[in-house]
Amino acid sequence: MHDDRRRVRSRSGRLPGPSGFFPFPGALLLAFLLAWPAAGQSESARKEPAAPGEISLFDGKSLDGWSGDSRYWSVIDGAITGRTDTPLEENTYLIREGTFANFEARLKYRFLTEIGNSGLQYRGRGIEEKPFVVRGYQANIVTTHADRTFAMLWEDEARELLALYGETVEIFAAADPSGGTFERRVTGMVNSKAEIMAQARRYPEWNEHIVIAYGNRLIHALNGMVTLEAIDNDEASRSLKGAFSLQIHRDMAMAVQFKDITVRELKTEPDIGGRFIRRHTPRHADSSGALP
């Protein structure tokens, strides 16, 4: 990051290495952004009301309650917009105030560039020596060009890859630390990668992303289809509560938008049976789709 960081509102990494992305030329990005609002205004301006029991994390017009670098984050046409016309040296985040433990979070996102890399960070913890950088789970949000890393579960500034899209995974502390600090065991599939990729809406359409976190169980869904399910048994490294944040990824010029960001706190373990498309039953769930 540059030294002249500026904050939006009050206060508050690395995604995978090679992901198949190529930087979008800055001049083209700037021209696109200048031309875009008139074409996209009517659709983005519509803010959907929060459902009963949901808390809205974005008022649709300001960054109240959020903090980040004002050079990259703003509200455009009713949506939180993260954009940079030059590649950044380090990931940067827009961080939501408040701490959440067990919840169902949902948002809608779309990219304003054909290639982009972002994410919804949850149960995140700030890093004192790195303003606007967060350590924690991340629901990876990328354009469909990034097949390998699309919709994966990543842990930025920590264990990194936890689950690829389509997988059910159990995560454990490593029995032999010399081979790494943790191990992930793929126990099955929730849906095939082809099915999940077919469910994704291409640029510049809106997608809906849902994250359910209860204890050490994590479930992600995209446009009504489960993309992965993970059980984190690594007690020393896992996070059971923290903040939400949104990411602009380093190394590329890009622009992304978010809207209708809500969270519903969970008091009991969720039953997701019948709510989402899941063609394969994970070995750790019963046949109804309920979490045991």
**Cα distance between the two ends of the chain:** 44
**How many residues does this entry show for the chain?**
292
- pLDDT tens digits, one per residue of 23-56: 444 555 545 454 444 334 445 556 787 888 899 9
Q: What is the pLDDT of residue 39?
A: 39
- pLDDT tens digits, one per residue of 235-250: 999 999 999 999 999 9
- At 68, the pLDDT band (50, 70, 90 cuts) reads very high
- At 282, the pLDDT band (50, 70, 90 cuts) reads low
Q: What is the pLDDT of residue 285?
A: 45
Please report the beta strands in 77-181, taking only residues with DSSP state E, as ranges in sequence order: 79-84, 92-96, 103-111, 117-127, 130-142, 153-156, 160-163, 167-173
- At 20, the pLDDT band (50, 70, 90 cuts) reads very low
For domain 7-265, say whether CATH 2.40.30.170 is its number. Answer: no
- pLDDT tens digits, one per residue of 77-122: 999 999 999 999 999 999 999 999 999 999 999 999 999 999 999 9
- pLDDT tens digits, one per residue of 244-280: 999 999 999 999 999 999 999 999 999 998 999 999 8
Rg for the chain (alpha carbons), in Å? Answer: 18
Report how far residue 89's alpha carbon sits from residue 73's, in angstroms, rounded to the nearest whole number. 16
Given a cut of 90, is residue 2 above it in pLDDT? no
Given a cut of 90, is residue 177 above it in pLDDT? no
Q: What's the average model confidence in pLDDT over 160-165?
A: 98
Share of the chain above pLDDT 90, in %: 70
Q: How far is CA 114 from CA 9, 52, 85, 90, 254, in A?
A: 30, 35, 14, 21, 8
Residue 236 DSSP one-character state? T
